[in-house]
A and B are shown apart, each in its own frame.
Chain A
């Protein structure tokens, strides 16, 4: 199994946590994993991107045109980061309005639940629900149980389930 995933957003949206969740899921499945993250000043609300490579890879970076999946927490990054996605790759975008072509208003779903910060897990849940990720829902649930701080676990779990069950 080999899969390359790009997670794109702006600082503060939880791109790093989303990266960690997917990387831990790879390890849970027994796959080697490499990621690359954006740290530093960009984290203050600027454009950030993470790469996740599950399976036998050596480089932490994904080349343009090679990513199997794109998770976009900020639709405004599409122009910049869409070229990473290969032809036929799947795209999941947090954007307002009715769901279409992989779009989901993850921010609103998270805010309606009372926790805007979990839009990242709503988006991951949605991608898992569509069968786009290398792992199933039970793997993700096990990871969230393992790595969530106790007071955050129920919120994270619910965020994932909102996205997982989303039909739009």
Chain B
């Protein structure tokens, strides 16, 4: 066993690469599959004694701007996000290629073909092409780590931000990876005034754009990024496969096997944009048939030309979705004329995820739905999207959209007369900070009338419990300044604000009714209710609350209302007894389910901490 090697997740390997390559400022907003990158930077910085400012920024746009300005001072900086986070950061990113950088700036964007955990499966390499941003596409954790250094060097050589684009299967793969000591350059911050560049009013932009195009032309001629010929299909092979990212790894492994070996040349494209120009010419000269394998759109294919290659755009490769190894095998069999069939994956959907037993969100959703059986429930992105499982979430779009959707629903219905429906929006605390504040100001100022419930569990739970600005805790565990949610809500002009613990279902229902009366009153507007209960995944939170001994009595009529309307994993239907029982290994004794039984058969006893 090589002692310098460790088993690292792709995201940890990227974090390690940033620390080893003298990154001094790293910012991020959490989102699957990118969440572990920033935490790894903080951990490896602590371990190696490297001096790095790490931060969980309020959103991806802020994260990018922080890292960009740090790069202006000559220091290396990095920012990481998931692919839809790039949509949020799109504004500063697109302009930054024109203006360029000083210290190396690496933008890590984790794509999610499938998608497994995202609202789109957009290809960030296509965004890189749009923004004129060079992009590296790693095929493994080890390569992702190596590419962080390459990205910094490329960025500094051309004074241009560089994108590193791993996908879920790289981010959440683990591999034995060699780790070295951090390189330390001891760069001191320096900022030189340069109005044509850092202010860059429109008059300066044509020149900046011309220089940007020139940089991209030169990068497309870099020999280091001529795709690697990894295996050969014989001396005179007239067939080639060009692949990038983890799809390259799938293809390379399949082509090693008996029936496939020696059938084609295989190239790995490490820099999909700008694609090496000589490579494009050589492909057209040397080969009769070329197959491109890439995720998720035909970015390499588009640059070579779909008149010549087979790929996503020509329909030889499925036009959507993840290219799993069995799909790659099928495509390669067809392309190379190798007989046989790729076995297919199992059918069925498996078990759907559900809010944890004892989750405060479930209690809040239950109170909302009981109070407004005919309500409209816009919601948002986080664990609480799972409220859809029991009819308490009607929409989910993108971070922060729910509040604007609440306003949009109100204005549309209000035109039809005074009897508009009760609209109850649910948004998590971290999502509220990320993108909820401008829409709240907008809704208030435009006179919308609806209820916003901020589901405040004191953390960013879905992505692994990153702190929110309300906590006053920074990414390395040190103290920062806390930004309380109620003050923000009041400052947004909201005149009805109540806080409650959703475990107290009756009290929350009372507050919701009061909020509805306010919304419909003469001087009414937007009402905000903060439903506050700590995420019970944290052990400390669970220690701080009573745990009741729960049981289901013989009164249970087996109607399953609790299972369907409340959906707690600890409530299980026992077909032999024809009634519900409590799964003691899952139940945390929150006792909220007492409210979910129409015949009062669920009972709570004692208080057993």
A residues with a Cβ closer than 8 A to B are 10-12, 19-20, 23-24, 26-30, 32-47, 57-65, 74, 76-77, 79-84, 107, 111, 116
Is A33 a contact of B174 with CB atoms below 8 Å? yes
Chain A residues with CB under 8 Å of B350's CB are: 46-47, 76-77, 80
**CB of B173 closer than 8 Å to a CB of A:** yes
- A20 CA / B169 CA spacing, docked (Å): 16
> Which residue, A29, A64, A79, A81, has most C-beta atoms of chain B within 10 A?
A64
Is B253 a contact of A57 with CB atoms below 8 Å? yes
**CB of B371 closer than 8 Å to a CB of A:** no
Chain B residues with CB under 8 Å of A62's CB are: 325
Chain A residues with CB under 8 Å of B349's CB are: 47, 80
**CB of B344 closer than 8 Å to a CB of A:** yes
Chain B residues with CB under 8 Å of A80's CB are: 346-350
Is A83 a contact of B386 with CB atoms below 8 Å? no
A39-B33, A59-B325, A60-B249 known; 8 other A-B pairs, CB under 8 Å? A10-B351, A30-B1, A33-B175, A40-B33, A41-B383, A61-B250, A64-B345, A77-B351
Interface positions, chain B 108-166, Cβ under 8 Å from A, are 116-117, 139-140
**CB of B206 closer than 8 Å to a CB of A:** no
A44-B253 contact in complex given A34-B174, A63-B325, C-beta closer than 8 Å: no
Please, which residue of chain B has its CB at the minimum distance from the CB of A74?
B351
**CB of B445 closer than 8 Å to a CB of A:** no
B residues with a Cβ closer than 8 A to A are 1, 5, 7, 9, 32-33, 35, 116-117, 139-140, 169-170, 172-176, 246, 249-250, 252-253, 324-326, 329, 342-356, 383, 385-386, 462-463, 569, 585
- A148 CA / B449 CA spacing, docked (Å): 53
Is B354 a contact of A46 with CB atoms below 8 Å? yes
Is A61 a contact of B325 with CB atoms below 8 Å? yes
Chain B residues with CB under 8 Å of A84's CB are: 345-346
* Distance to closest chain A CB from B460 (angstroms): 13
Q: A-B contact count, CB below 8 Å?
A: 143
- A81 CA / B326 CA spacing, docked (Å): 14
A35-B250 contact in complex given A40-B462, A44-B353, A83-B343, C-beta closer than 8 Å: no
Is A36 a contact of B346 with CB atoms below 8 Å? no
Chain A residues with CB under 8 Å of B250's CB are: 58-59, 61
* Distance to closest chain B CB from A164 (angstroms): 23
Out of B353, B463, B585, name the residue touching A46 (CB < 8 Å). B353
- A40 CA / B585 CA spacing, docked (Å): 23
Chain B residues with CB under 8 Å of A20's CB are: 7, 174
Please, which residue of chain A has its CB at the minimum distance from the CB of B354?
A45
Chain B residues with CB under 8 Å of A35's CB are: 173-175
Out of A36, A45, A76, name the residue touching B169 (CB < 8 Å). A36
> Which residue, B1, B174, B342, B343, has most C-beta atoms of chain A within 10 A?
B174
A59-B253 contact in complex given A34-B174, A44-B383, A76-B351, C-beta closer than 8 Å: yes
* Distance to closest chain A CB from B326 (angstroms): 5
- A82 CA / B346 CA spacing, docked (Å): 7
Dominant secondary structure of chain B at its interface with chain A: loop
* Distance to closest chain B CB from A68 (angstroms): 15
A37-B172 contact in complex given A44-B353, A44-B383, C-beta closer than 8 Å: yes
- A11 CA / B32 CA spacing, docked (Å): 15
Is B33 a contact of A81 with CB atoms below 8 Å? no
Is A63 a contact of B172 with CB atoms below 8 Å? no
Chain B residues with CB under 8 Å of A45's CB are: 351, 353-354, 356, 569
Please, which residue of chain B has its CB at the minimum distance from the CB of A45?
B354
A-B contact pairs, 15 of them (CB 8 A): A19-B174, A27-B7, A30-B1, A32-B176, A36-B169, A40-B117, A44-B353, A44-B386, A45-B354, A45-B356, A60-B169, A60-B170, A63-B329, A79-B347, A80-B350
- A124 CA / B346 CA spacing, docked (Å): 23
Please, which residue of chain A has its CB at the minimum distance from the CB of B344?
A64
Is A79 a contact of B7 with CB atoms below 8 Å? no
Is A43 a contact of B353 with CB atoms below 8 Å? yes
- A30 CA / B2 CA spacing, docked (Å): 8
Is B585 a contact of A58 with CB atoms below 8 Å? no
Is B246 a contact of A64 with CB atoms below 8 Å? no
Chain B residues with CB under 8 Å of A59's CB are: 246, 249-250, 252-253, 325
Is B585 a contact of A116 with CB atoms below 8 Å? yes
Pick the 5 closest A-B CB pairs, nearest first. A47-B350, A40-B117, A46-B353, A65-B343, A40-B32
* Distance to closest chain A CB from B337 (angstroms): 20
A39-B140 contact in complex given A60-B249, A82-B346, A83-B346, C-beta closer than 8 Å: no
> Which residue, A20, A42, A45, A83, has most C-beta atoms of chain B within 10 A?
A45
* Distance to closest chain A CB from B537 (angstroms): 9
- A36 CA / B353 CA spacing, docked (Å): 19
- A77 CA / B351 CA spacing, docked (Å): 8
Chain A residues with CB under 8 Å of B140's CB are: 34, 58, 60
